[in-house]
Chain A
């Protein structure tokens, strides 16, 4: 398994500003993922962050809105830019630690945009 921490755990942000979420893992992992969980909904994959290369974004998510950094094998950041109330969600990072696609999740960052 892996222990994953996220900062901040929650934040309230003004419309038009940005929030950067940090994800730290206690071991080196190749693949890190960022998901969004809108209120009362399931999880939607935003992008995959691989060290040493640009993130791969899913349909409907773009780099200008959700820039991602992956400077090393234990850390990643997701920025949610130009915030609107529709961005109010829980953002979760996860890591894939085995070839069997067993993923472990961080505790999430609850974002509220006013």
Chain B
């Protein structure tokens, strides 16, 4: 069945560092791909999405490109801030959303 694999966390970075969170997927067909973010004590927020191969989703300085050839959707940000500390979930669309296990990010000043 469809599945999503994310890199294990926690990830700890200094402010202004470059961020990459790896996400790969297995799916039949052509799913849409998503990144959701969960800030401490809050619900999930849609961060960005891509609906077809080579699409790039972007929001709040974060980017991810739908790579069909490598079945990947890695999340990147050029310069993280303390306020980016959160848990990030990669997900793909099927009947409902199929989530990865989440990657915790801590950004220190």
Interface of A toward B, CB cutoff 8 Å = 33, 41-43, 45, 48, 92, 94, 96, 100-108
Given contacts A42-B101, A100-B32, A100-B51, contact A105 B44 (CB under 8 A): yes
| Chain B interface size, under 10 / 10 to 19 / 20 to 34 / 35 or more | 20 to 34
Contacts of B97 in A (CB 8 A): 33, 43, 45, 94, 101, 103
Q: Are the C-beta atoms of B95 and A105 separated by less than 8 Å?
A: no
Contacts of A48 in B (CB 8 A): 95-96
Partner pick for A103 among B42, B46, B101, CB 8 A cutoff: B46
Chain B proximity of A40: nearest CB distance (Å) = 9
Chain A proximity of B25: nearest CB distance (Å) = 14
Chain A proximity of B92: nearest CB distance (Å) = 9
Q: Are the C-beta atoms of A107 and B96 separated by less than 8 Å?
A: no
Contacts of A105 in B (CB 8 A): 36, 43-45
Q: How far, in angstroms, from A43 to B97 measured CA to CA in the complex?
A: 9
Q: Are the C-beta atoms of B44 and A45 separated by less than 8 Å?
A: no
Contacts of A43 in B (CB 8 A): 44, 89, 97, 99
Chain A proximity of B66: nearest CB distance (Å) = 13
B77 at the interface (CB under 8 A from A): no
Give the top 5 A-B pairs by smallest Cβ distance, nearest first: A101-B93, A107-B43, A105-B44, A42-B101, A42-B99
Q: Are the C-beta atoms of A41 and B101 separated by less than 8 Å?
A: yes
Q: Are the C-beta atoms of A45 and B102 separated by less than 8 Å?
A: no
Smallest CB gap from A101: residue in B: B93
Q: How far, in angstroms, from A96 to B93 measured CA to CA in the complex?
A: 11
